[in-house]
Amino acid sequence: MAGGLAVSVEGIRWGISPIGWRNDDMPELGAEHSLGHVLSDMAVAGFEGTEVGGFFPEPEVLRRELELRGLDVAGQWFSSYLLQDGFERVDAAFRRHCARLAALRADVAVVSEQTHSVQGLKLGVFDHKPKFTADEWDTLVNGLNRLGATAKEYGLMLVYHPHLGTGIQTRDEIDTLMRRTDPETVHLLYDTGHLFASDEDVLTVLALHGARIRHVHFKDVRRDVLAACRKKHHPFLKCVLDGIFTVPGDGCIDFVQVFRKLHDFGYQGWIVIEAEQDPARAHPLEYALRAKRYVDELVKGLCDRS
Ligand SMILES: O=C1C[C@@H](O)[C@H](O)[C@@H](O)C1=O
Ligand SMILES: [Co+2]
């Protein structure tokens, strides 16, 4: 294997998302990459696991393909519409989602509230993010607490994903969400790329909410592209196509500090490389290999320190 771990940090598992090969929000991107191709690239690059992409088959088929390559599943994204559809409808869909994840022996269900989201719309993501009303906050908090209890029934942790262009994006919104939700059932997904592109302060969120983090997305940001996207009022998916995100070590986020602080918090669980780019411009295996080399250096640096 090209990227076997020389050293490791106990309790931390490294994964990579299929989003660098194929993007569920833009199915035309990388459609030529078969499941076998994507999973084999992940294994060749030296990763232990992945998240489930929308193009992945049902668990019975997927499990064999994963096992053949020694890969595990960390979790999968779930778009909740609690404000728009109400708890009962969302919970029914979430139960089906959790059952599939449990069949894959996954650890987390990634939830993001998409009511009023501009994530997939042709509206400037930096100008049109929604803001929830007081009533909407009540509904969201109550619904997430209950969905978190559902996740537990399936042996999973609900990890909430703050995201550009949604009602939970900024540091203030994350603070409120963490203060108002039940720490036993609602956990935090720490996605460095979205936090940086929103508020540019990834370490403060980590310092404030490190104890709630149960899942991590390592996504780097190209500072010049971020500035250009803001200036041109680009929609989210146009920002992705222009290359706002990349693998850790290739952008401007200080992952040495991030990784140290996560470790100081005693973080245990998955760290998933999630660098959505146009695969025609950023060769997915090349970037996966770069990412793995970089995180191996991070791990080595941490081990040398202690
Ligand atoms: O976790 C994620 C899943 C994607 O669907 C999303 O758009 C991406 O930006 C992300 O962070
Ligand atoms: Co993410």
For residue 281, the surrounding DSSP H or E stretch is none
Distance CA 169, CA 165 (A): 7
- Residues in contact with ligand 1 by the CB-under-6-Å rule are 24-25, 77, 161, 191, 194, 217, 274, 276
Atom of ligand 1 nearest to the CA of 245: 9
Nearest bound ligand to CA 75? 1
44 burial (CB, 10 Å; 0-12 / 13-18 / 19+) is middle
Q: Which ligand 1 atom sits closest to the C-alpha of 189?
A: 1
Tell me how far apart the alpha carbons of residues 266 and 260 are, in angstroms, rounded to a whole number: 10
pLDDT confidence of residue 6: 55
Under a CB-based contact definition with an 8 Å cutoff, are residues 134 and 296 in contact? Answer: no
Q: Where are the beta strands (DSSP E) in 97-200?
A: 108-113, 157-160, 186-191
- Residue 304 CA to ligand 1 center (angstroms) comes to 33
Q: Report the separation in Å between the CA atom of 174 and the middle of ligand 2, taken as the mean of its atom positions.
A: 15
> What ipTM does this complex have?
0.98
Tell which residue, 102, 60, 94, has the closest CA to residue 78: 94
- Tell me whether strands 220-221 and 245-246 are parallel, antiparallel or unpaired: antiparallel
Task: Give the per-residue pLDDT at 67.
Answer: 98
**Tens of pLDDT along 175-189?**
999 999 999 999 999
Q: Which atom of ligand 1 lies at the shortest distance from residue 194's CA?
A: 11
Report phi then psi at 63, rounded to 5.
-55, -45
Task: Return the bridge partners of 215, or none.
Answer: 189
Q: Tell me 247's DSSP state.
A: -
CA–centroid distance, residue 215 to ligand 2 (Å): 10
Q: Kindly report whether the global pTM for this prediction surpasses the value 0.95.
A: yes
Instruction: Output DSSP code: residue 191.
Output: E
Which residue(s) pair with 77 in the sheet? 110
Residue 283, Cβ density class (10 Å: 0-12 exposed, 13-18 middle, ≥19 buried): middle
Q: pLDDT digit of tens for each residue in the chain (306 aa)?
A: 444 445 789 999 999 999 999 999 999 999 999 999 999 999 999 999 999 999 999 999 999 999 999 999 999 999 999 999 999 999 999 999 999 999 999 999 999 999 999 999 999 999 999 999 999 999 999 999 999 999 999 999 999 999 999 999 999 999 999 999 999 999 999 999 999 999 989 999 999 999 999 999 999 999 999 999 999 999 999 999 999 999 999 999 999 999 999 999 999 999 999 999 999 999 999 999 999 999 999 999 999 887
Q: Cα of 161 to ligand 2 centre, how many Å?
A: 7
User: Residue 1: what pLDDT?
Assistant: 40
Residue in 163, 226, 244, 245 to alter for ligand 1 test, most ligand atoms within 8 A of Cβ:
163
The architecture of the domain spanning 12-301 is: Alpha-Beta Barrel (3.20)
Q: Give residue 145 CA to ligand 1 midpoint distance, Å.
A: 22
